[in-house]
Structure 1
Amino acid sequence: MTSQSHTPPFPRAASLIGGIALLLIAVLAGIGYVGILSPLIESGDAVETAHDIADSELLFRLGVLLMITAAVLDVVVAAALLALLGPVNRAVAVTAAGFRVAYSAVFVVALTQLAIVPGLLNQPDRVLTSLASHHMIWQVGLILFAAHLLLVGYLVVRSGFMPRALGILIMIAGVGYLADGIGTVLIADYTARISTVTFIGEVALIAWLLWTTIRWSRMSQETKVDGLQVSRFAANDE
């Protein structure tokens, strides 16, 4: 009875897939946007921006590709979290997954504004317009992502098998993205980035999913070893 009470009420495969997919998104976004795209596109000078991208066009295209890959992985994460949290409240979990898939679609639309930039390098003003469109679409899409995190956080708090503190951190991350998304819509030249402070809940979720999978895998192996030892002792007694 004791061992049964500690059996996780969620699929370990979904926990592993979700954790790995989230980790890959973080790595791809770090390399693709922070490492490659941001240094090339965060300039208000149209001519200089077009020149910088032209000098590193292949690298720029690689950055876009990495971000598209991250967007595809968002769909994988949505499915994994649905498998994990569906038993808590199926309707809410499906809605949360739907918001993440919708965000992924909006994100891809935003990335198309970057994908067309290499074809506009001889028109610097249009390059800046495309980059601005990318930023606006992405930031508005964060409202959908925020809704996803708020619902996931709620489900984690209600789950009973995941730490309540983790759920609260995830909801705080959602509030940060929501503030940034709404701020972009309502305030001209919105520059605050609250999500850069509140994102810790996303990191905690990655760590918990991967750690839990590893922990239960070890426990499962130990249980098998213990069971084998019991069988051997029983055989010896006979």
Structure 2
Amino acid sequence: MRVAGVFYLAIILLGLFGEMFVRAKLVVSGNPAATAHAISASPLLWRMGIVGDLLMHVFDIPVIVVLYLLLKPVNESLSLSAAFLNLIQTAVLAANKLSLLVPLYLLGGSSYLTAISTAQLQTLSYVAINAHGYGFAVGLIFFGVSCLVRGYLMVKSGYVPKLYGFLMVLAGFSYLINSFALLLAPTFAAALFPAILVPAFIGELAFTLWMIVKGVNLAQWQQRVDPAPTI
């Protein structure tokens, strides 16, 4: 459990690194030229953001397995459904990283790109980066539903404090609202972001720290796994 908590914390930190310290630093909103110049000036930082994201998705796997086993005694079918939803999210987001590689090729100065103007290459790079944002939103729809299911199972478990279950449900709704707003009403989504994801950050971080510091009550968990026979 504590090892899974460490992996979960690494996922959160790597996610923050990619979004806050790489893309927020290098991507200039509404300005393809400035964005292209920033990436060209710091290609290693851009690549580090991609590698960090991919490591984050690798760390997803042990966390998914542990959370499945943790919540399986409450309802095996729902716990398995949450695990599969999380796996779909991981697969979508991992594949989505290809969009972030596109600017490196377009801005790399290869001879086969000379037929395309610099402005066009910069615009295409910016479009690829925007596409990554939408791909991220698509993946988080699956994760949002997974959070709702896991939050419900935590509340019903008896061996995970109900508070973390409610926080996980709140996180799920935050992800879903953010994703559907981006897909259906981008202007509205821009007004919501990043405040809409604060509950998700708080909920996941709180649960992660609980896993690392305290962890599940093994006696209560075992009781759900092997309930005492009735006489």
Give yes or no for TM over 0.5: yes
Q: Does 1:90 align with 2:71?
A: no
For 2:138 and 2:217, the matched residues in 1 are separated by: 38
Which of 180, 183, 189 aligns to 1:182? It is 180
Pick from 195, 202, 208 the counterpart of residue 204 of structure 2: 202
* AA matched with 2:47: R
C-alpha displacement at 1:188, in angstroms? 3.1
In the TM superposition, 1:221-232 aligns within 5 A as none
Shift of residue 196 of structure 1? 2.4
Q: Residue by residue, what CA displacement relative to the aligned partner does 1:162-203 show, whole Å, maximum 9, x if unpaired?
A: 111110011001110010011111113331221124431101
Q: Tell me the amino acid that sits aligned with residue 176 of structure 1.
A: S
Question: How far apart, CA to CA, are the structure 2 residues paired with 1:48 and 1:73?
Answer: 33
1:150 aligned residue: 148
SS at match of 2:137: helix
Partner of 2:130: 132
Distance 1:214 1:205 in 2: 11
Identity of aligned residues (%): 30
**Bigger Cα displacement from structure 2, 156-165 vs 33-42:** 33-42
What's the counterpart of residue 141 of structure 1?
Answer: 139
Match of 1:211? 213
**Aligned pair partner of 1:99 in 85, 88, 94:** 85
In structure 1, distance between residues paired with 2:215 and 2:35 = 45
Q: Which consecutive residues of structure 1, in runs of 5 or more, have no partner in the other structure?
A: 1-14, 217-238
Q: Which amino acid aligns with 1:183?
A: A
Rounded to whole Å, the distance in 2 between the matches of 1:187 and 1:133 is 16
Matches within 5 A, 1:41-120: 41-120=27-106
SS at the partner of 1:162? coil
Radius of gyration: which is bigger?
1
Aligned to 2:168: 170
Q: Could you say which residue in structure 2 is the equivalent of 1:16?
A: 2
- Alpha-carbon distance in structure 2 between the residues aligned to 1:188 and 1:165: 32
Q: Secondary structure at the match of 2:97?
A: helix
**Ranges of 4+ aligned residues in structure 1 off by more than 3 Å:** 213-216
State the TM-score, normalizing by the size of structure 2: 0.83
User: Structure 1 counterpart of 2:35, which letter?
Assistant: T
Q: Secondary structure at the match of 1:199?
A: helix
Do 2:26 and 2:38's aligned partners in 1 also have CA atoms closer than 8 Å?
A: yes
Q: How far apart are 1:71 and its partner, in Å?
A: 1.4
Relative to structure 1, the CA distance from residue 131 to residue 51 in structure 2 (aligned partners, 3 Å threshold; closer, same or farther) is same
Q: TM-score, normalised by structure 1?
A: 0.80
Q: Quick one: distance in 1 between partners of 2:200 and 2:132?
A: 23
* 1:17 positional shift: 2.5
Which amino acid in 2 is paired with 1:60?
W
Give the stretch that moved more between structures: 42-51 or 145-154: 42-51
Q: Which runs of 5+ in 2 are unaligned?
A: 108-117, 219-231
Q: How many residue pairs were aligned?
A: 202
1:3-27 C-alpha deviation (Å, 9 max, x unpaired): xxxxxxxxxxxx1222011111112
Distance 1:211 1:27 in 2: 17
Q: What do the CA deviations read for 1:111-139 (whole angstroms, capped 9, x no partner)?
A: 11002211112510110110111001101
Does the 8 A contact of 1:33 with 1:67 survive in 2? Answer: no
Distance in structure 1 (CA, Å) of the matches to 2:199 and 2:2 = 26
